[in-house]
Amino acid sequence: SCLLRFYPSATILQQRADYLRAEHWTIFGENYQALEQPAPNPSMHALVRYYSASNGDHWITSSYDVNFYSPYVVEQTLGYVYDQQQPGTHALYTCVTADGHHFSSLKATCVGGSYLRTEGWLLDKNTAGAQDVSLYSCVVTGDTKNDFDSSLPTCEGQTSIGLLGYTLAQPS
């Protein structure tokens, strides 16, 4: 179901669904099951860029528990990544430094930090034309600890580190 795609933890999903039902939210009307869409095959998740104003950290992740447990807010969705390796893909990892700043890496060794999680698998090359979204590793100019990812080669006016790979604009 759609909710399972966004809240993969069954316990958290059940707690949130029970709350919404108790509050009589219309999403759980009489025939809400008719609104369900089939999950993409192969399975994918959105890669989302979050930002915390309290520590100036960007966190790029496919996890949907970030907002629930922290001061991070969504900045933008950077596309969709595969949940499992597919032909012509490579892994994207999230790493964290000793002082709590997150950065993306193509290597699980996370030079300069510790491995946090595998976010998903990016396309090696632009295969679907307009359906693919470039993903660049960037750093805020003058602040080498503030890494973030962007779909723009100009890194939104900041410093580009390089191309990480490609996400899909829509789940397939």
Model pLDDT, residue 83: 94
Beta strand pairing call for 102-105 and 89-96:
antiparallel
Model pLDDT, residue 55: 86
pTM: 0.75
Model pLDDT, residue 1: 45
E strand map for 7-144: 44-52, 57-61, 73-82, 89-96, 102-105, 114-123, 132-139
Under-70 pLDDT residues of the chain = 1-41, 67-69, 128-130
The 10s digit of each residue's pLDDT in 6-32 is 545 555 566 666 666 665 555 545 555
Model pLDDT, residue 17: 65
For every residue of 77-94, DSSP letters joined together read EEEEEESS--TTEEEEEE
Model pLDDT, residue 70: 73
